[in-house]
Structure 1
Amino acid sequence: MRLPVSLWLPLALAVAAVAAGQSPLQRRVVRDVLEYFHGRSNVHFLFRERELDGLVEREDPSGTFVQLRLGLAQTSCRKRGPQRQCRVVENRRKPTCLACYKFDTGDVPKVLDKYHNCGPAHHLAAKEIRQRDEAECRAVEEAGKGGDALYLPGMFAFSRGLPA
């Protein structure tokens, strides 16, 4: 069954318009989130970007923080099969992914820290999960600011087998 052009063209244009309005770092986060999501063992079909929401991009002296909520839609193509014409399947899974990334200030930005959480939209709206997501994203945003608890004095003293 083929969909008439009048049904799939608005969706294709909407996805293209969203992608056109994204910064290079935002597009990189979307690609990385899709790669992460498809790498999960319980995902058997390919998913496409459905919507982009809650977009935040902030710069500070330590780098650029990007946070976004990516809505996905299941397609008719299996993850490991041929991917010729993968159409979105209506009334199927539509997970949402929250992604928080911190990039350094280099010419080719490197990821300093990141956090993903993907699941059903109602799952991510649960109070406990939302609070954990907020805390994780705050920690990602603080990466590279110099006050990281990752570099405490003496932290690696025992890892080198130093004499007692």
Structure 2
Amino acid sequence: MKCLVALSLGFMALAAASQSPLQRRVVKEVLDYFHSRSNVHFLFKEQSVEGAVEREDPSGTFVQLRVNLVQTACGKRAVRKQNCKTVENKRKPACVACFKFDTGDVPKVLDKYYNCGPSHHLAVKEIKHRDEAECREVEETGKSTDSLYLPGMFAFSKGLPA
């Protein structure tokens, strides 16, 4: 049993090491958001990250991922959070997260979207479509709108003399 625990911890460390700094930042922000919810009473840890996407364009960097969480035996207000053991057969929610960062040396969040719930809940077709639409909007944040300009578009922004 100890061997399995050590092996799973090794895989988690390897997964965290392969994440980019922005992906790690998104995971941290998702965990902070999840723990801020009033209905969450226990501390949750990242179990895995799936489907990580990171795309750059002139307006910034878009990061999308799914974070699978696992409940621990510690309350969310625990003083020593690093020693919390996971609890098997308890809640294992998942969070879909989409963030758009600017191109600065210390990237600022331009827009974000996340949705956390039971894993089976996020698989429902309507929720999945909404998540995809919200993530597309986040990715488009900051992109040029020159292609959307139509001649005369602002013709009525000022009143005409009477």
Q: TM-score under structure 2 normalisation?
A: 0.86
Residue 97 in 1 paired to residue 133 in 2?
Answer: no
Q: Structure 2: any 5+ residue segments left out of the alignment?
A: 155-162
The amino acid that maps onto 2:88 is E
Q: Displacement of 1:14 after TM fit?
A: 1.2
Q: Percent identity?
A: 65
Mapping of residues 12-161 of structure 1, within 5 Å:
12-83=9-80, 85-147=83-145
Q: Displacement of 1:113 after TM fit?
A: 0.2
Q: After superposition, give the CA deviation of every residue in 1:127-160 in whole Å (9 maximum; x if it has no partner).
A: 11011000000000000113399xx97xxxxxxx
SS of residue in 2 equivalent to 1:88: coil
Q: Displacement of 1:8 after TM fit?
A: 2.0
The ranges of structure 1 where at least 4 consecutive aligned residues each deviate by more than 2 angstroms after the TM superposition are 81-85, 146-149
Q: TM-score under structure 1 normalisation?
A: 0.85
The amino acid that maps onto 2:52 is L
SS of residue in 2 equivalent to 1:68: strand
Tell me which moved more, 32-41 or 84-93.
84-93
Q: Structure 1: any 5+ residue segments left out of the alignment?
A: 154-164
Q: After superposition, give the CA deviation of every residue in 1:82-108 in whole Å (9 maximum; x if it has no partner).
A: 335210100000000000000000111
Q: Give, in whole Å, the separation in 1 of the partners of 2:145 and 2:135.
A: 16
The amino acid that maps onto 1:51 is S
SS of residue in 2 equivalent to 1:41: coil
